[in-house]
Structure 1
Amino acid sequence: MTTSMSSPVAPVPPVPRPAEGVWPGLATPPHAPLKARIAEALFRRAVRALPVRVVFPGGERIGAGGPDSPVMRIVAPEAFFHRLGAGSKIGFGEAYMVGDWTSHRPADLLTPFAAQLSTLIPPALQRAFRRVAEARKPAVEANTLDGSRENIHRHYDLSNALFATFLDETMSYSSAWFADGGDDLAAAQLRKIDGVLDMAGVRAGQHVLEIGTGWGALAIRAAQRGARVTTLTISAEQARLAEERIAAAGVSDRVQVLLRDYREAQGGYDAVVSVEMVEAVGVRYWPTYFAALDRLLRPGGRVGLQAITMPHDRMLVSADDYTWISKYVFPGGVIPSVEAIEQNLRDHTGLRIVERRSLGPDYARTLAHWRHTFLDRWDEVAALGFDETFRRMWEFYLAYCEAGFRVGYLDVFQFSFQRR
Structure 2
Amino acid sequence: MTAMNVADMVSIFLKNSGKINITAFDGSSFGPQDAPVHISVNNSRAVYYMVDHPNDLGLARAYLQGDISSPELVPGDPYEVFKQLMALKPDLKKPNPADLARIVTSVYSHGIRHPEAPSIEGPSRWKRRAEGLLPHSKAGDEATVSYHYDQSNEFYRLFLGPSMTYTCAVFDSPQDSLEEAQERKLDLVLDKLDLKPGDRLLDIGCGWGSMEIRAAKRGIRVLGVTLAAEQVKWANEWIKREGLEDLAEVRQMDYRDVPEGDFDAICSIGMMEHVGFKHYPSYFKEIFDKLKPNGRLLNHQITRVNSTTGKAAGEFIDRYIFPDGQLASPGEIETVIHDTGFEIVNQENLRQHYALTLHDWNKNLVAGWDRAVELMGEPKARLWGLYMAGCALNFELNNIQVHQFLCVRPDSETMTDTYPLRPWWVEDSTVKPSKA
2:41–2:69 CA contact under 8 A, matched in 1: yes
Matches within 5 A, 1:281-300: 281-300=275-294
1:111 to 83, 87, 94: 83
1:153–1:235 CA contact under 8 A, matched in 2: yes
Give the superposition deviation at 1:304: 1.0
Describe the SS at the equivalent of 1:56: strand
1:231 to 196, 206, 224: 224
For residues 201-228 of structure 1, give each alpha carbon's deviation from its aligned partner in whole angstroms, at most 9, with x where no partner exists.
2332211111011111111111122211
Matches within 5 A, 1:11-30: none
Q: 1:227 to 1:59 in 2, by over 3 A?
A: same
Aligned length in residues: 368
Aligned match of 2:296: 302
After TM superposition, the structure 1 stretch with the greater mean CA deviation from structure 2, 198-207 or 180-189, is 198-207
Letter in 2 for 1:289: Y
1:363–1:402 CA contact under 8 A, matched in 2: yes
Aligned match of 2:29: 60
Letter in 1 for 2:327: I
- Structure 2 residue runs without a partner (length 5+): 98-123, 411-436
Matches within 5 A, 1:204-243: 204-243=197-236
User: How does the TM-score come out when normalised to structure 1?
Assistant: 0.78
Letter in 1 for 2:348: R
Greater CA radius of gyration, 1 or 2?
2
For residues 134-172 of structure 1, give each alpha carbon's deviation from its aligned partner in whole angstroms, at most 9, with x where no partner exists.
x75642361211111111111111111111122111111
- In 1, distance between residues paired with 2:234 and 2:265? 24
For residues 312-340 of structure 1, give each alpha carbon's deviation from its aligned partner in whole angstroms, at most 9, with x where no partner exists.
34642x52x65111111211211222123
2:37–2:84 CA contact under 8 A, matched in 1: no
- In 1, distance between residues paired with 2:224 and 2:398? 31
Is it true that 1:399 corresponds to 2:368 in the alignment?
Answer: no
Aligned match of 1:94: 61
After TM superposition, the structure 1 stretch with the greater mean CA deviation from structure 2, 78-87 or 236-245, is 78-87
Aligned match of 2:46: 80
For residues 266-311 of structure 1, give each alpha carbon's deviation from its aligned partner in whole angstroms, at most 9, with x where no partner exists.
3121111011000011223222212222121211111112111122
- Structure 1 residue runs without a partner (length 5+): 1-36, 126-134
For residues 331-358 of structure 1, give each alpha carbon's deviation from its aligned partner in whole angstroms, at most 9, with x where no partner exists.
12112221231232234x1124321222
- In 2, distance between residues paired with 1:416 and 1:208? 14
For residues 221-266 of structure 1, give each alpha carbon's deviation from its aligned partner in whole angstroms, at most 9, with x where no partner exists.
1112221111111111101110111122222110121221011123
Give the superposition deviation at 1:70: 4.4
Aligned match of 2:345: 354
- In 2, distance between residues paired with 1:396 and 1:403? 11
After TM superposition, the structure 1 stretch with the greater mean CA deviation from structure 2, 306-315 or 363-372, is 306-315
Is it true that 1:274 corresponds to 2:268 in the alignment?
Answer: yes
- In 1, distance between residues paired with 2:172 and 2:304? 24
Q: 1:95 to 1:379 in 2, by over 3 A?
A: same
Q: 1:328 to 1:141 in 2, by over 3 A?
A: farther
Percent of aligned pairs with the same amino acid? 31
Matches within 5 A, 1:155-174: 155-174=148-167
- In 1, distance between residues paired with 2:177 and 2:398? 23
- In 2, distance between residues paired with 1:219 and 1:370? 22
User: How does the TM-score come out when normalised to structure 2?
Assistant: 0.75
After TM superposition, the structure 1 stretch with the greater mean CA deviation from structure 2, 321-330 or 135-144, is 135-144
- In 1, distance between residues paired with 2:395 and 2:407? 24
Describe the SS at the equivalent of 1:252: coil
2:408 to 395, 400, 418: 418
Give the superposition deviation at 1:50: 8.4
Describe the SS at the equivalent of 1:298: strand
- In 1, distance between residues paired with 2:204 and 2:90? 33
Q: 1:299 to 1:374 in 2, by over 3 A?
A: same
Describe the SS at the equivalent of 1:209: strand
2:338–2:344 CA contact under 8 A, matched in 1: no
For residues 41-65 of structure 1, give each alpha carbon's deviation from its aligned partner in whole angstroms, at most 9, with x where no partner exists.
99656654989524223473449x9
- In 2, distance between residues paired with 1:119 and 1:61? 14
- In 2, distance between residues paired with 1:298 and 1:114? 49
Bigger helix share? 1
Give the superposition deviation at 1:396: 1.2
Describe the SS at the equivalent of 2:384: helix
Letter in 2 for 1:270: D
Matches within 5 A, 1:41-52: 44=11, 47-48=14-15, 52=19
